[in-house]
Amino acid sequence: MRTSPKKVDNGHPQPGRWFKSSRRDKMPPDALLQITDGLNRLAIIDARLSRIVEYRFFGGLTNAEVSAVLGINERTVERDWIKARMLLREILAS
């Protein structure tokens, strides 16, 4: 069950506050290691894309929440999320 992140005074999600159930909990350990390695490789290409994947995939944050945390436009988060998934697929396939 997903819960909303606790907000701090500035309206940003509280750092370290994650969700009760995440996709990570349902993944086999070897798949988690592959994704972690892929994220490390993605971070070399573009650190912001890697952070967006971490926030969206592991943290369960919405585009609006990621936008607030990173201080970027929500539409930029949407575009970067699409780009990050595409690059991560390519990285994991290689």
Three-state DSSP state, 13: strand
Residue type present at position 88: L
**Local confidence band at 22 (pLDDT 50, 70, 90 cut-offs):** low
Which pLDDT tens digit goes with each residue over 33-80?
A: 898 899 999 999 999 999 999 999 888 999 999 999 999 999 999 999
94 found inside a domain? yes
4-27: average pLDDT: 52
The answer as to whether 8 is a domain residue is no
- Cα gap 82→64, rounded to integer Å: 15
Is residue 31 assigned to a domain? no
Give the domain extent around 52.
Answer: 47-94
d(CA 76, CA 78) in angstroms, rounded, equals 5
Cα 87 from Cα 25, distance rounded (Å)? 23
Residue 9 has pLDDT above 60, yes or no: no
In a domain? residue 92: yes
> In this predicted structure, what is the pLDDT of residue 28?
80
**37: in domain:** no
Kindly report the pTM of this predicted structure: 0.71
Q: Is 16 left (phi over 0), alpha (psi -120 to 50) or beta?
A: left
**Assigned domain for 88 exists:** yes
